[in-house]
Chain A
Amino acid sequence: MRPPSLLCLLVPLLLLALGLSLGWALGDGLKGYSGERLAEVALELVPESGATHPVTSVLLNFRGYDTLLELAVLLTALLGIWSLGPAAPPYPPPGLVLASLVGWVVPLLIITGGYLLWVGAYAPGGAFQAGAMLGAAGVTLTLAGHPTGGLPAEPWQRLLAALGTLVFLLMGLGLMALGSGFLIYPKGIAKWLILIIEATATLSIGVTLIAAFLGGRPMSLRNRSR
């Protein structure tokens, strides 16, 4: 074995020093300032947002514009993956035990996803968690040998992947056209608008995760029937 070089010692020491100074800076930041804080303002206005859970209020209403761009980031990631080449060949078909287990697990995952979506209005949950559940269902199917992880043909995949961003954006533009302003939800129907956005975002997030796991452009129908 080679004796440890100077670099092996120096790098951890430097990282330690960096971490300590950042910790010091953080500690310094924690005291000091006594003005109004954003979190307090946000908690106060949660009842006006159309959702009773603060995380949902922030993600879908107060900072909805960030979430819109984050959904666009997800779409970008998927389009980037598709641009690099076709998907890998499917996994081998499952044995009896795996197949029956998958038959149980996948519907449960989908139902759990739906529950998380609904519960997001007043408890921890919401589109990203629900979408992750849908994604897990698709990944399970893929591992059990399904060639597309339960996803439909390419045009539908495109629609589903873009749907969340599209509905969110059109909602914003529509509200602007109706005189309310970009992404300004009218008080009475805010709850329902948020639910529509969350539901479509859930679908898009789930589909994006599955398609990203497949790792490439969807195979055309002709290739799949082979």
Chain B
Amino acid sequence: MLDPLALAVAWPLLGALSITLLPRWAAHLGILAAVGATLSALGVAFAVMDSGSLTSELGGWKIPLGIGLRADGLAAAFLAMVNLVALGVSIHASVYFADSKARHHFWPLWFLLWTALNALWLARDLFNLYVTLELMGLSAAALGALSGTRESISANLRYLLLGLAGSMTYLLGVALLYVAYGSLDLVQVARSLAPGPSSAAACALMIGGLSLKAALFPLHFWLPPAHASAPAPVSAALSALVVKAAIYLVLRLWLDLFAGIANASAAMLLGLLGGSAVLWGSWQALRAERLKLLAAYSTVAQIGYLAMFLPLIAAAADERGRASLLVAWVLLALTHGLAKASFFLATGLVQKTTGHDRIAELGGAAQSLPAATFALGLAGAALIGLPPSGTFFAKWILIQAAIASGQWWWVPVIMLGTLLALGYVFRLLARAFTREPTPPHFVTSARAELSALLLAVLAMLGVGLAARPIANLLGV
């Protein structure tokens, strides 16, 4: 029988392998595999929307002996976003790398990263998650080093080593759980998990390792240099998708696996780290001198918002409050994924045209690329959280929940973070519109600019207006 979950992993892997064999056809095979992977992932998302979550037992062995894949609403929502962003990145990359030597290396590694992402969102086996984390970390670091500069290679070597440390820490936690409960299946372990030193140690190790991979403040130090020095399409994927995968796993484990032992004070600790990340990341983004560094620090801040949800979810009064916070979390993460990808792609175009990405010297240079600048503006507005973007609704629900549960101190943090985001986006846009007359053509390079612009439009309008279907998908 046809297994849609296995297909969603198999498509990008088949793409990676065929490009490895036929590097001459990389760009064509790449677009083919990208379209196939996106269609199969969207197929999974629609199937979940229709009939609830999908499960499959690979190899025909009953869980826990075999490895299970699962797509519930949360996984399906992310799977759809990740594959849309990845399709946009692929179309952009077919122009970006068209005459660069790096193209032979980009395509196979990119599809291996895509395989890892799809496999990660569908996994429900703790060891299988580790394998996907390894595949993701290795391919992401190799892609980040593709710009070939000394700076990018050293930043990405550091990223690789810290990523390994993160996944090893995670694996240590998995080993403890396996020793204690004799199973690797997430659902089964969650069922038998009992409070005690071994499950507490496993929780600390797994959440800690993933926080390092998610660049949660103060473990964010590796992110800005690595993301700012990678080629633009790669930065887009790293910032929008790879970091998101780790913070998604933090939430997934927190809610599904460690629900019984993760208490309010641990959630508060993660929330405080998140709040500091919002302030520190936004402040650094405001001070950044380069466009890509600005975008990278803004990612640090956005991961902070996502961590800030944990204490509020823990303190939510009833099931409805929890569910609406979960929807807000997904809205924020999806919007950031789309917006940040678009932001980095547009930045790459500006950088290619002007030869640099120093904000102070943009001086209207960006204005010669109206579509790219428009994408920057739209993506920036989505990052700030202007209505009707998903960020707006997410922050609204977040503030409501903070007031309702008496944790009022999150409100000024959110306000200040939003104000700082307003600052760094407008500081950029103010430099972009200084030249007269306006260029005659809106679009200069259709494929490269339109993929950035479409992602920005999706971030600004799509996710916010689709809030109802997304809530349905999550079963609320």
Interface residues of A (CB under 8 A from B): 21-22, 24-26, 28-30, 32-33, 35-39, 41-42, 45, 61-66, 69-70, 72-73, 75-77, 79-80, 82-84, 158-159, 161-162, 165-166, 169, 172-173, 176, 179-185
Contacts and interface: CB of A to CB of B under 8 A. Distances in A.
A51 to B, nearest CB: 13
A94 B128 CA distance: 45
Interface residues of B, number: 61
Interface string B191-217: 010101110111000000000000000
A26 B102 CA distance: 46
Interface string B9-23: 010011011001101
B64 A41 contact: yes
Contacts of B115: 69, 72
A28 B194 CA distance: 11
B32 interface: no
B138 interface: yes
B290 interface: no
Nearest to A186: B60
Interface of B: 1-3, 6-7, 10, 13-14, 16-17, 20-21, 23, 56, 58-61, 64-67, 102, 105, 108-109, 112, 115-116, 119, 127-128, 131-132, 134-135, 138-139, 141-142, 145-146, 153, 172, 176-184, 192, 194, 196-198, 200-202
A163 B111 CA distance: 17
Contacts of B132: 69
Given A62-B59, A64-B58, A83 B109 contact: yes
11 contacts: A25-B197, A33-B180, A33-B181, A62-B61, A66-B128, A76-B112, A83-B146, A84-B145, A162-B17, A182-B58, A184-B59
A76 B142 contact: yes
A28 B196 contact: yes
A56 B345 CA distance: 45
Given A33-B181, A161-B20, A83 B131 contact: no
Nearest to A170: B14
Given A83-B142, A183-B6, 10 more contacts: A62-B59, A64-B58, A70-B131, A75-B16, A79-B112, A79-B142, A80-B139, A80-B145, A169-B13, A169-B14
A12 B224 CA distance: 31
A8 B142 CA distance: 35
A63 B66 contact: yes
Q: Which of A66, A70, A76, A84 has the most CB of B within 10 A?
A: A76
Q: Which of A28, A64, A72, A184 has the most CB of B within 10 A?
A: A72
B392 to A, nearest CB: 38
Contacts of B138: 73, 76-77, 80
B66 to A, nearest CB: 6
A41 B64 CA distance: 9
B111 to A, nearest CB: 10
A75 B112 contact: yes
Contact of A35 (B1, B56, B58, B182): B182
A36 B146 CA distance: 48
B179 A37 contact: no
A25 B183 contact: no
